Each structure stands twice: as structure tokens, then as C-alpha cells.
Structure 1
Amino acid sequence: MVDEWGDIIDVTNDEESDIDDEDWNFELPRIPKPSPSLQNVQPDGSDRFSLTDLVGAIQAGESVERIRNYLAYHRRGDGSELKRLINESVQGFPAFFYVVETRNPDLIRLWARHGGDVNATYGTLRVPLLGYAIAIGGSFRDDTRLAVATLLSLGASVDVIPRVFYDPLEQDLPESGPLEADLADLEDANKLWCTPHALLNLSQTLNFCFTTRYHLHLSSLLKGYSGAQKQVAEMRRSEDILGLPYYLIGQTTASIFLINTMLRNLAMPTKRPIVMMFAGPSGHGKTELAKNFGNLLSLPFHTVDCTAIQYETDLFGPRAPYIGSDQGSPLNNFLASNSGRRSVVFLDEFEKTGDDIRRALLIPFQEGSCQDRRNLSSVDCSKTIWILATNAFDNTIHTFCKRNKTVIWDSKKMRDTEKLIEILSKQIRKESEGRFGAPITGRVTMWVPFLTFSPIEQAVVADKYVADFGREATLPVQIFNDEARDRLVGNVDLSIRKGYSLCAALARGYVQELGARSLVAEVDEQVRGPLVDAYLQNLDEIVEDGGVTHCLANVDADGVIGVSCVVPKSYEKN
């Protein structure tokens, strides 16, 4: 409700929870869905903000867009009052816990953007939001890898998690929980919540989620951003960019280079567009980093496949009066529709371009001036961010990685790695003059080298693809007798007991020249294929609503991977 000064009057349910912290099983109470549905203005005409209604709507599956609109409607002034309200509790639990329960990274970012505290705690033992996010994972049906990565990217403190769970990474965690001798930091006030029950949960969940252990370890190594850096990012509504390293496996230095370049430009813009060259072997994250960069900043994104363009007219479209000039080209039309606005153009496999294409890019790269071929009008592309992806320098990068692997594979020597990569970046710049010519090279703002994956990163990439398959397999069986719509393998609960050992065994299939693609093939061969075989061999007939098939992917002492499945009795072969 709004009083005579226009301030929001909160209506929340902040009664204490009757759940004993020691025995809490990490389940939240069910909050009634608002009836009628979540409304900015109530049927009685009152204009009120209700955290209880909002949380009830979130638990009922309300869309992120509707929640965004609700929060925007009730935001007043500088948003400080709304920030206070959304950090209140509902039935004893901070509202952010209900947001994390959805496991939706977009909703988590939205809540944090309005002031939600990513370090909120529950109860007398101060159960942290990050700990809760980890604890409710442990299966592909309830996977929280992205939710945890999002919280860490937004500044959630890793100090609330005992170090034994993420350092060292090169080991499996005991299924019965860590040994007391390994819990030297348990006396920390941030870890009061680490009861025997909670420690057992963390051990079992993190054994399953190797990627989460990797992100916790990464968070312990990354240095925080200064107040001024955060201020610049927030003022330009680009704060999500600070969490970029958590959305990419490996290439942490490349992410940091990109963040620093963006902060520099946001703090003191120039009239010249940003032009970056992503140099590195195929399958090592160039495209993924570019897309995540655009997504986190909510920027329009356009990809140009340089293997498909030969002439300047292929890139920008024919000039008048030639046929097709009134239609432009995909790139021409993208630049025209985003004139004067920040956007991203990703030129993939830039080494495939010829002199004609490179000459056509000199003016846009230098002056930020383009022309709309459809009507010959001027287009302001000074705020366009150009990313040139190339594997033209693979030999240089492979040689660098082999020579310096002792340093770059040691995650605790991140600063030493940064210094080495600065040298590599200068070497690539020098080679670029011979490969692409001085005019293009002189217009590139920065060179971002992408390295081959370390053994740990190889294991995390393998875990990512196992998780992708595991989530896909949980979806229900659907039979339409239509190949495009049928889902014949489904309702599968895939368990993993020794996450690190399994992923390390899969990482043996890593091929530098193929990068992540080689690990996709390994997961298909060692996990996906055997699971589908076991699933089909145990069923008499595939039916919808036939129950859950429980499967286990394990690795023995010799590193041999095995997959077994047990189907429900109602679903067995006769």
C-alpha cells in the first residue's frame, strides 16, 4: 500500500520458523499462491507490495518477466525501500531462499539487481544462501550448478564453505563426509551451520557436482573488484559482466582481459569502437565467451560466418543501383537497427577473410561509421563491439602452453599466468601484422589468447557434458509416433558417486586440436551410449508414465567407466 508520501507499505509474513536449524532438511515451507494471481493493483483498488504474495507466486512458477514487472512497478525513488523489503523474511526464511529454490539464474540475477543480499543467512546457525543452493542439488532433476555459479558471480562469499570441499580438487570426497582432521577451518563463525548433517549433505552433493567444486575453488582465487569498478558497472547497468569467469570453463585470464577492457570503456568512452581478437584453438571457448559476454550485458548479438563471405558485398550487401541493394544484408540491417547503441558483432573464423573484406572493415573499425546500403544513410556503429575469432595462431599458442604448462596449470599461480599471457598477447599482435596486415592489426583494441585446457579444466568440461545429458534424460517420455517430437529415452535418474574420478577418466579422451568437441564424443561413447543401451535392453516396451529408471555411472580403481540401470518393476520386461 502507498501512503500519502508515496512510500510502499510492506505486507509480509515474517513470523519465525518453527524448524530446528540442526535438523533442517533444506526444504522450505509452501507459501500459498496469491489469489487472484500476482497483481500490481489489487481488485479492491489498493496499491500494495506484498512479499508473501510475491514469494507465493515464485513458488507457483510465475514467469521471470512478470516478477520483473512487479518489482519495477513497486520500485520508488532510488530503490532503497524495495531493497529493504525484498530482503525481509517469509515464514522465517529470507525471501532470497525462495528465489534460489527455483534454480533459475535469470531470477537470481533479477533479485540481486534489486538489492537482494546474496550472502543472506537463515536461523541461529546462519545457514548461508550459497550453502542452501549447494545442498538442494545432488541430482540432475534438481541440478543447481547454474544457480551456484550465478550466486558466486554476484559476490556470494565462498568463505562459508569448508575449504576441504574444493581444495584440493584432484580427489573424490568421502561419501560419509570429510574427516575431522580435514576440517581445520570449521571454527570460523561463518561455518556454524556446518553440522554433521550439513557436512554429509555437502560431501554427497559435491561428489556429484564437480563443476560446483571447480567454481568454489575459482572463487577462492579471484580477487574482488574495487568500489570504483563496481560503481562504474552498476551505473552503466553492466554489473553482471563482473561475473563472466563463472560462465566459462577455463580461460579465466581471457575473461578478466575482457572485463577490464569493458570497464575501461564504460568509465571513459572513446569514439572508436572496441575491436577484440579472440585467438585460440577450436573448441576452447571463443564463441562461448563472446555469447556469454553479450548475454550478461543484454546486448544485441550478431554472428558472421567468415567462411561464407568472399566479397565486401557479401558482408554489407550490394550498393545501389545493383539488385538487392534495397534489402541490405544481415550485418547491414543489424548495424542499422542498432545505430548509436552498444551491440556485439562476432566475426567467426576471421582468418578465412580476404583482402576485400578486411579493407571494407577499416572504416567501421577506425571511425565507427557505417552506411545503411538500403537508403545510403549514415549509421553510427561507434558503440559496436567487434570480436574477431581466429585459430590462425594455434601453433604459437600450442607451443606456449607446452612450454609453460607448469605455471598455467597451477590455478594458484593466476597472477604469474596473467603476466605470461600478456607476453603471448604481444607476440600474437606481432604475428597478426604478417597474417592480416598492418591496417587491420592497428585497429584491434586488444588481443585475447585462449589456452588449451588444463587437466582439471578437461575434467570440468567432461562434467558439463555429462550434466547436459543427465538433465536431458530426466525429461518425461513422450510418444507421438513422430520422429521430430518423440522422446523415447526419459524419466531417467542418473547418479554419480565419484564425480572427480569419473570426469578425470573421461578427460583421457581430450584432444587439443578438437578441444571440448573431443570430450563431447567421449561422454557420448562412455556414458550416453552405454546408458541408452542398458535402458533399451531392460525394457519390454517404452511407455509414457512408466516410472523412473535409476542409472549409475561409476568408475573402478583402474579408471574403467561403467553404467548400469534398474527399471521400476512395473516397467520391466516380462
Structure 2
Amino acid sequence: MEDGPPRVSYGDFALDPDIALGRQQPRPFSAEKLAAALGHGCSPRAIKAYLQSHPRETIELELNVLVRQHHILTYALERNDAECLKVIMEYGADLKAKAFGDIPLLAYAIMRTKWTLQNATDVVKTLLVYGADSRCIPQDMWSEYVKTPKAETDHKATEPSLITRTKWCTPDRRAVLAETLNLTMRYYLWRAKRLEPPTKRTLQIAKAHKMTDLFKVPFQIIGQEPATNLVVQNIYTHIALRTPKPLVLAFAGLPGHGKTELAGQLGRLLSVSARELDCTQIGEISSLLGAPKGYEGHREVSPLNDFLTQNSGVRCVVFMDEFDKTKMDVREALLKVMDTGMHRDRKSNLEIDASQVIWILATNLGDTVISRFHSKHIATRKDADIDKISIEPLRKDLRSLFRSAYSPAIAGRINVMVPFFPFSPNEQAVVAHKFVLDMQDKARQPIDINAPQLQFMAHSHIFVVDDGKVCQHIADTSYEPEEGARSISAGVDDMRRKFGRAYSNTDEEVTDEMNNGPLTKFTVQLHPVSETDEDEITVFRDGSTVVAGPRGSGK
């Protein structure tokens, strides 16, 4: 398994794979050609164009034919490119296929990183999004996701009914899984198990309205299970019922807890145009909608007016960040378009149809009420129990607050109040790991000592001993609810600076030729400090090097 499936040679793919694949388009579809394209680094765009040039029914018949005893998804996983994987999954590749005889694809995606040293987190998340069964990975390795998994099986933490799903996991394979199953992967395995799969009718309706990607929302942010449930349920029913007026959602809560991150994903997930507006930059109505026709400046660019005009009569998303910073006259100017969906273009003076707009108003208003509710009803509960807590009383309180702070007219236009809560201790650790992964990815990049890149601190492998404990320590010492993920990012910055000092602690100068050799290994671990009886994070070069496998081109 260390070497992956054999690389498939086909024609002149080695010269320019995108051009070579393009030349194959008039010919019959072949899974072998696709495997060659993947192995030679074809771009997701070229792979998509190749698939689109053939009848879908032909692809679905041929796509799952083994290529040199390996399924096409095994070749896709070798690329470690989530976008390539998505393109192929959209054409019906069989997620139940196995790698090397009996290894589930999800497990293979994780285990291969032992030899490639790549970050496969996005690939694993993509497999889960498309329906890979998290239960093929031994449950005791991720049910308490902050704990680092053990190489020995904990039978008490495994449901007896799931044992048959993990028969493939021999002691040797489990040892590899324990080494490669990182904290973020464990979290999304846990989260995937909690999700109820959509019914066939739900999928039928979603597919007809081109919104199947909406069900990927729970994988877009960390935590916020009540918020993601509200977003999915309300957008789905609004579109499915063909509601002839806009949908207005208010994202409320402390900054840094996923409001902007989730809102920014919705346009892509719904395959529609989206426009983000920073309300701190909107002082007057004219800066949002422009001057009315006949007034000076009415032909100048106006972000919201132009966007609504360009998307008249079609579904789109308008995200107004920091909505609480708007003035009353600006909010009142939006009442009609949010209510009836009718808007008059400031440039042409013609009525346009904005009835299919999904409005998202992100605000910090209500953060005190939300924090109080969280402390009383959620903070003492386990993450697994959050779905048992009704947040309807909180949503009612938020509506009352919006009514008094903004006006009954504004509050009346908001269809759904969506509260975002502080992170739980376990979620804080996962947020910390997100930033640690980013640090590891950057450290693995090639050295480039030439201006303007000047990337000296690179071509390195940062190994984190017991990532759950390390990330929990970062969260415990840095998380501030008022700042959210930003405070945790600052905690990881301290680790990044320690890596910088450890990297520089040698008289050997950096050269571009180092890229031809093995990666320099740096180890991160918690170290007890006897004077304070507390732990601190240390980063050191342990004198060893590691050689990444030759396959794959991802992170």
C-alpha cells in the first residue's frame, strides 16, 4: 500500500496532461484514460471538461470498471486533491469500492498519509460529504474525538453491530490509522455519524432545484449544530415550496464563531451568485443603493442596486455583514425589497424582481442573550446532547430584542433567527487544530530563497505528538468567547514563532537545493514545567528527517 496503485501511462500525458486529455474528448470514454490523467496531474477543470464531453450514462457504466485491479477513486485519492475527487464523485463513482482488496476508501485516504506526509483532511471531509460511512473506521478511535486514538482496540467503546464493518482493520492497519487519524478527521467522523441522511424524496426535490450541496453545510464550519440545522431546513423548504418572496435570515452571536464563514459558503453551495456587503462601510443609502435616477451620481456603481439588477428574477444570496452597524434610514430603505421582493433600479428607474433573494444579516446584536442561554442550558452538556436542547425560547427572545433595537418593521422582515453559540471545549480544540494544519501545510512548501517569495522556513515536516492534548492546551490558554476563533489563532501563532526559532537555530544556511532532499522533522509536544506545575508547548528539531512518498501532488 505504501506505493499506491500503479501509475497508468497513456499517450503523451507526461508532456502536458491537460492538453493530452483534451485530445481524448472525441473518443469513447475510458476509465483507464481518466486514471492516467489523474496520475499525471491533470487539473480538475480539464477532468471536468473530459467528463462533460461524454454521455453521462456511458460514464456511469464505465467509471466503476477496475483499472489494473484498482478503482478509479483509488487513483483520485492518490492526487490528494478534493476538487478532483468532487468532480469524479458527481458522476456516480462508487464510494463502497475498496482499495487493495478490502480497505475502505475512507480508511485508505487517511492511512496513505503515513508515507506521503500530505494533509488529507479536505479529502476525508469530501468523502464524508458524499456519503462515505464513518463507521468503517473503528468507532473507539473517534467517538471521543479529542482523545488521540490507540493502536489497541477498545471493545467497550465500539457498538457490537459495527464490528463487522471494521473486519478489514487488522492490528497492523489499526496501528497506521492511529498514527494518521488527526483531530480534525476524528471530529468530522463523529459529526458525520450524527447526521440523518436525507430521504430519497428530499434528495429528489433538492436535485430538481439544484440545491443538493445544501446538505454539505454541516461540514463547512466547526460546531454550531443548531445553526446549520436551521439554515439547511429553512432554505430547503423555502426553495422547495417555491415561496414567492425573499427569505431573510439573521445570523446572531459573538464574533469569530462561524457567521461570516457559513454565510460566505452559501452562494457556492446553492450554485448561485452571491454578494457580500460590509455594513461598516455603508454610511448612507446612496453608498448602498446609489442615487435615484435624475440625481447627480445615479449612474455610478452602487453595490447592492447593481447586484439585484443583474440577478433580477433569479436566485441569489446577499450577505450583509455587521448589519448592526447600519443606520436606521439604511435599514428602512431595505424594508420593501426584503418584504415583497420588488426593487426599483436606481439607474433605469425600472422595477426589478428580487423575490428570490436569500438575505443573510450577520450581527453581534444579541450576543449577551445568547451567551447567557449557552451558560445556562448548553455549557454543562456534552456535545452529543446539544440536539436535545430546544432553542426556541432563545429565538423568541432574540426577536424581541431585534424589535426593540431596530424596529418592529425590521424584525418583522426577518424570517429566521439563527443563533451562533460559543465553542465547547472540544470544539475549541478542533478550531486550534484547523490553524495547526495550516501551519503544517505552509511548512511543507518548497524552499524559495529568491525575491519576492523569500520562503526560507519551509521543506519541513511538523509532527505533533498527541494532537488532541496539544490543541486542547492551546484552546484552554487562549480562547476568549468575545473573540472566538481569532483568539485561538493567536494561541497557535505562539507555536508558529517557536517553530521559527527552532528552524533558525543552526549555522547551516538555507539553499534551494535542500528541496531535493528529505524534509526536516520538527516535533511539537507538551512539556511539563516543574516551576509552575503546568505544561507548555515545545517545538524542537529532533535531528531526524523524513522522506515523503513520490505519489500525489496535493498538500
Flag the 1:498–1:186 CA change in 2: closer, same or farther, 3 A: farther
User: Is the Cα contact below 8 Å between 2:99 and 2:108 reproduced in 1?
Assistant: no
Deviation, structure 1 residue 139: 8.5
1:194 counterpart (135, 160, 169): 169
Once the two structures are superposed, residues 306-352 of structure 1 have per-residue CA deviations (whole angstroms, 9 ceiling, x without a partner) of 11112111111112333321123122222222222221111011111
- Tell me, yes or no, if structure 1 residue 316 matches structure 2 residue 293: no
Deviation, structure 1 residue 540: 3.2
Aligned length: 531
Once the two structures are superposed, residues 205-233 of structure 1 have per-residue CA deviations (whole angstroms, 9 ceiling, x without a partner) of 12xx1010011111122222211111122
Flag the 1:567–1:488 CA change in 2: closer, same or farther, 3 A: farther
C-alpha distance in 2 between matches for 1:123 and 1:474: 28
Structure 2: which 5+ runs fail to align? Answer: 14-18, 529-533, 546-555
Output the amino acid matched with 1:56.
A
1:159 counterpart (116, 129, 135): 135
Q: 2:429 aligns to what?
A: 459
C-alpha distance in 2 between matches for 1:184 and 1:449: 34
Spell out the pairing of 1:460-539 with structure 2 (5 A cutoff): 460-482=430-452, 485-508=453-476, 509-525=478-494, 527-539=495-507
C-alpha distance in 2 between matches for 1:253 and 1:416: 10
Q: 2:531 aligns to what?
A: none
- Tell me, yes or no, if structure 1 residue 412 matches structure 2 residue 359: no
Q: 1:559 aligns to what?
A: 535
User: Is the Cα contact below 8 Å between 2:383 and 2:424 reproduced in 1?
Assistant: no
Q: 2:520 aligns to what?
A: 549
Q: 1:361 aligns to what?
A: 334
Q: 1:261 aligns to what?
A: 234
Q: 1:47 aligns to what?
A: 27
C-alpha distance in 2 between matches for 1:238 and 1:39: 30
C-alpha distance in 1 between matches for 2:58 and 2:174: 37
Deviation, structure 1 residue 542: 2.6
- Tell me, yes or no, if structure 1 residue 144 matches structure 2 residue 144: no
- Tell me, yes or no, if structure 1 residue 387 matches structure 2 residue 360: yes
User: Is the Cα contact below 8 Å between 1:154 and 1:240 reproduced in 2?
Assistant: no
- Tell me, yes or no, if structure 1 residue 442 matches structure 2 residue 412: yes
Q: 2:351 aligns to what?
A: 378
User: Is the Cα contact below 8 Å between 2:136 and 2:165 reproduced in 1?
Assistant: yes
- Tell me, yes or no, if structure 1 residue 56 matches structure 2 residue 27: no
2:369 counterpart (396, 403, 407): 396
C-alpha distance in 2 between matches for 1:190 and 1:156: 13
Deviation, structure 1 residue 296: 2.1
Output the amino acid matched with 2:467.
G
2:318 counterpart (345, 352, 361): 345
Deviation, structure 1 residue 42: 4.6
Spell out the pairing of 1:82-231 with structure 2 (5 A cutoff): 82-122=59-99, 124=101, 126-137=102-113, 141-174=117-150, 176-178=151-153, 185=160, 188-206=163-181, 209-231=182-204
Flag the 1:532–1:140 CA change in 2: closer, same or farther, 3 A: farther
User: Is the Cα contact below 8 Å between 1:460 and 1:503 reproduced in 2?
Assistant: yes
2:217 counterpart (244, 252, 269): 244
Once the two structures are superposed, residues 242-286 of structure 1 have per-residue CA deviations (whole angstroms, 9 ceiling, x without a partner) of 121112101122111111112102211111111100001000000
Output the amino acid matched with 1:477.
I
C-alpha distance in 1 between matches for 2:115 and 2:268: 27
TM-score normalized with structure 1 length = 0.88
User: Is the Cα contact below 8 Å between 2:267 and 2:273 reproduced in 1?
Assistant: yes
Partner SS state of residue 535, structure 2:
coil
C-alpha distance in 1 between matches for 2:280 and 2:116: 38
2:298 counterpart (325, 328, 351): 325
C-alpha distance in 2 between matches for 1:528 and 1:492: 13
C-alpha distance in 1 between matches for 2:158 and 2:81: 32
C-alpha distance in 2 between matches for 1:329 and 1:308: 13
Q: 2:394 aligns to what?
A: 424
Once the two structures are superposed, residues 405-456 of structure 1 have per-residue CA deviations (whole angstroms, 9 ceiling, x without a partner) of 356x412214313x2x222112111211001111111111101000000000
Flag the 1:102–1:41 CA change in 2: closer, same or farther, 3 A: closer
Deviation, structure 1 residue 183: 6.0
TM-score normalized with structure 2 length = 0.91
Output the amino acid matched with 2:388.
D
Name which structure has the greater RCO, CA cutoff 8 Å, separation 6+: 2
C-alpha distance in 2 between matches for 1:357 and 1:139: 57
C-alpha distance in 1 between matches for 2:31 and 2:321: 46
Q: 2:550 aligns to what?
A: none
Partner SS state of residue 463, structure 2:
strand
Partner SS state of residue 545, structure 1:
helix
C-alpha distance in 2 between matches for 1:285 and 1:139: 34
Q: Which moved more, 1:314-323 or 1:490-499?
A: 314-323
C-alpha distance in 2 between matches for 1:244 and 1:138: 29
Partner SS state of residue 188, structure 1:
helix
C-alpha distance in 2 between matches for 1:140 and 1:360: 56
C-alpha distance in 1 between matches for 2:159 and 2:332: 62
User: Is the Cα contact below 8 Å between 1:162 and 1:185 reproduced in 2?
Assistant: no
Identity %: 31
Structure 1: which 5+ runs fail to align? Answer: 1-23, 570-574
C-alpha distance in 2 between matches for 1:386 and 1:554: 45
Q: Output the aligned Cα RMSD.
A: 2.2
